[in-house]
Amino acid sequence: MIALPGAYLTMQINWIVFGLLIPLLMVPAIGQDKPPEKKIANPFDKDKAAVETGRVQFNSGCAVCHGPTGQGGRGSRLADIERVRKMPDARMFEIIKEGVVGTQMPPSPLTDNEIWQLISFVRSLNLSAVEQDVPGDVAAGETQFFTQGQCSGCHMINGRGGLLGPDLSNIGARRSVDKLRKSIENPDALIEPGYSSVEAVTLDGRRILGAAKNNSNYSIQIMDAQGKFHFLLKRELKSLTHHKNSLMPAPSLSENQKQNLLAFLSRRSLETAAERDRRIEHGKEIEP
């Protein structure tokens, strides 16, 4: 009697959300069925002068909402973020040119070329590690990762390694070099969703320690050190502690070892450069 209306309400909310999504779904769907014949790509690409011109434009019109380094404020974050990194050029151009209806993002008065320069700058804020020239001995970094560095005890790359930490097969395409370095130096600074440490005690006294794969008001899904899942309803718990720190210890590495590891990790990408370029030029917008 109590559950019934609640359950139906959930269903209804779902329909409403679905209804709102339909217009959003239309755009990628069209692109997906018939890729545009003509390639729409930024003519300035990574041109250094264009990036600098774009930076000036950004500071005079965009920084007010998005922040001078694109970290986001009143407007959304634009720097070092998957959503922007994977957005095709044509889509980014359209957003700047037309603005975003229903938000404070106005249509831009800039010329097409100026918009492309602005895009060159925004792209420069989102260079993934694999797109950057990262010095270091890749082979030595690989050895470090799989043996003395003990990284593969918890992290997997292309099927080799442990389960407790995030899979790193594609990390070079997902992170900037700065963020990668930060994660190595200070693992607590950035904990990937699904990998934060929790400790649950059930009503019958079982203590479960592990990574929270998902957490909501009514249930929590934990993977323990053996890789075993514990899917728990909150009502079955006596206590739940969310640890602040990462499960990963800060490795003690020399600067040289760190650089080698960084060089190795920066090159972990499941997408080739050609595939990336094709996606940016033609492709479908992909959420992380």
Torsion of CA 225, 226, 232, 235, to 10 degrees: -60
Note whether 27 binds other proteins by CB under 8 A: no
Contact between residue 205 and residue 211 where contact means Cβ atoms under 8 Å apart: no
Q: Does 216 bind other proteins (CB under 8 A)?
A: yes
Judged by beta carbon, residue 103 or residue 158, the one nearer other proteins is 158
| Residue from 3, 23, 133, 255 binding other proteins (CB under 8 A) | 3
Q: Is 162 helix (H, G, I), strand (E, B) or coil?
A: coil
- Within 10 A of 252 (CB to CB), how many other CB atoms are there? 8
| CA-based end-to-end distance of the chain | 40
For other proteins (CB under 8 A), the number of binding residues is: 78
User: Shortest Cβ distance from residue 228 to other proteins (Å)?
Assistant: 5
Among 18, 43, 59, 206, interactor with other proteins by CB under 8 A: 18
Q: 262: which 2 tokens?
A: 């960084």
Among 194, 206, 207, 273, binds other proteins (CB under 8 A): 194
Applying CB under 8 A, the span of 40-48, 54-62, 110-118, 224-232 interacting with other proteins comes to 224-232
| Nearest-approach distance from CB 283 to other proteins, in angstroms | 9
Q: Are 251 and 265 in contact (CB under 8 A)?
A: no
92, 125, 247, 261: which one binds other proteins (CB under 8 A):
247
Nearer to other proteins, 95 or 232 (CB): 232
CA 185 to chain centre: 19
CB neighbourhood size of 108 (10 A)? 18
Of 31 and 99, which has the nearer Cβ to other proteins?
31
Residue-wise over 138-173: b if at least 16 C-beta within 10 A, else e? bebbbebbbeebebbebbbbeeebeebbbbbbbbbb
Closest CA to 282 of 51, 35, 104: 35
Q: 43 or 153, CB closer to other proteins? A: 153
| Residues 127-186 interacting with other proteins (rule: CB under 8 A) | 146-148, 150, 152-154, 156, 158-164, 167, 169-170
List 17, 101, 204, 254, residue binding other proteins (CB under 8 A): 17
Q: Which of 69, 189, 199 is nearest to 121 (CA)?
A: 69
Contact window for other proteins (CB under 8 A) among 14-22, 51-59, 107-115, 175-183:
14-22
Among 197, 257, 259, 260, binds other proteins (CB under 8 A): 197
